[in-house]
Structures are given as C-alpha cells and as structure tokens.
Amino acid sequence: MVDREKIKKAVRLFLEGIGEDPDREGLRETPERIARMWEEFESMRNFDMKIFEEFGSYNEMVLVKDIRFYSFCEHHLLPFFGKVHIAYIPDGVICGLSKLVRSVRSFALRPQVQERLTEEIADFLEKELKPQGVGVVIEAEHLCMSIRGAMSPGHITVTSALRGAFLKDMRTREEFLKLVKG
C-alpha cells in the first residue's frame, strides 16, 4: 500500500535537501501531487488477467509490436520509457491486446530496471498463457543517462527475454527478432 503521508514527508525533506523552499508557491502542493500520483500508479497495477479466450488450434506466432510504456529507473527514480514488443506461440489460449498492455504497465509502474522488467513480463505471460513460447524485447531511453550526458541523448538500450520455443528453436527466435526489427 502506498503511504501518502510518508511520501509527502519525504518529498518535503528532499526539496529542502536540494536547497528549495517547499513552502513557495510552485512547490507547496508538490508533495501531495507526488503522493497522489503514486497512488494512481498503484491502482493501475491491479487488474484482472484471468479473462482469456480459447482459440482453437491456432498455433502460429502472435506478435504485438510497439506497446508504449513508462517506468522508473530504481537507481535514480527518473523515467525510462520506450516500446515493448511481445510475441508468443499459443497453446490453446490467447489474450487480448489490452491485457498485454496492462500487464506491461503493471510491471512498469514501480521502481524498476529494464532487464528485470523484460524478465518479469516474459515470466508472467509464460505463467498466465502457458504458451509454447514467449519472447519480449524492450527498447528504452533512460533519462538518468540522457540528462547527465553519460550517453548521447536518445541512446536506446535493448533487452530481451526468451522462453520455451523462442529459446529452443533457432528459427522461431530468428523469425521473432526479424519481425521486431522489420
């Protein structure tokens, strides 16, 4: 559970720590705003993933490209954001696009690292869909890198997680990666 009072105290202290006056006009509501924002994030994490359609004997690759996401680097609490590409080979069960989007969001809206986000989405879909295989690729820009000039702005980090057929079958993997790039 998000503790609104703790967040408010912490943000106020943080603002003082960087030499700001937390009581000046623009900042006065900031602790409350940030607390409410994290409450909202928390509520977006809870969704019902259990509604699945049976889809007969369809067993070709399902690919959903370019799911936009926003997350927070857990080292700096600054956003990293970009696109998630998800593919799976069903084994009797598929899920709607909105479920994929929500599952991405539920793992993204918390302090994260891109590698773990990629793995968590893959593990979750593997558990829920029990597909023949699943592949997740994330392309993201990290503000903590772009702002500080450690990397050129717009630098994209790519991570991937492969399960089942995507791991074992080279042709499946290559098809997936080609579709993602194309």
The answer to whether the CB of 84 falls within 8 A of the CB of 119 is no
Angle at 34 between CA 29 and CA 38, to 5 degrees: 150
95 is a catalytic site residue: no
Residues at the site binding Zn ion, with contacts judged by CB under 5 A: 73, 75-76, 144
76 is a catalytic site residue: yes
Residue 122 CB, nearest approach to Zn ion (Å): 22
Distance, in Å, from the CA atom of 85 to the CA atom of 161, rounded to the nearest integer, reads: 11
74 is a catalytic site residue: yes
Distance, in Å, from the CA atom of 114 to the CA atom of 108, rounded to the nearest integer, reads: 9
- How far is C-alpha 28 from the chain's CA centre? 31
Q: Which is nearer to Zn ion, 72 or 176 (CB)?
A: 72
Q: What is residue 26's DSSP assignment?
A: G
Selecting among 16, 29, 40, 75, the annotated active-site residue is 75
By beta carbon distance, the residue nearest Zn ion is 144
Q: Which is nearer to Zn ion, 61 or 73 (CB)?
A: 73
**6 phi/psi in degrees, rounded to 5:** -65, -45
Residue 73 CB, nearest approach to Zn ion (Å): 3
29 is a catalytic site residue: no
Q: Which is nearer to Zn ion, 62 or 73 (CB)?
A: 73
Q: Which is nearer to Zn ion, 36 or 76 (CB)?
A: 76
Residue 45 CB, nearest approach to Zn ion (Å): 21
Distance, in Å, from the CA atom of 26 to the CA atom of 80, rounded to the nearest integer, reads: 25
Selecting among 95, 114, 120, 132, the annotated active-site residue is 114
Active site residues: 73-76, 114, 142, 144
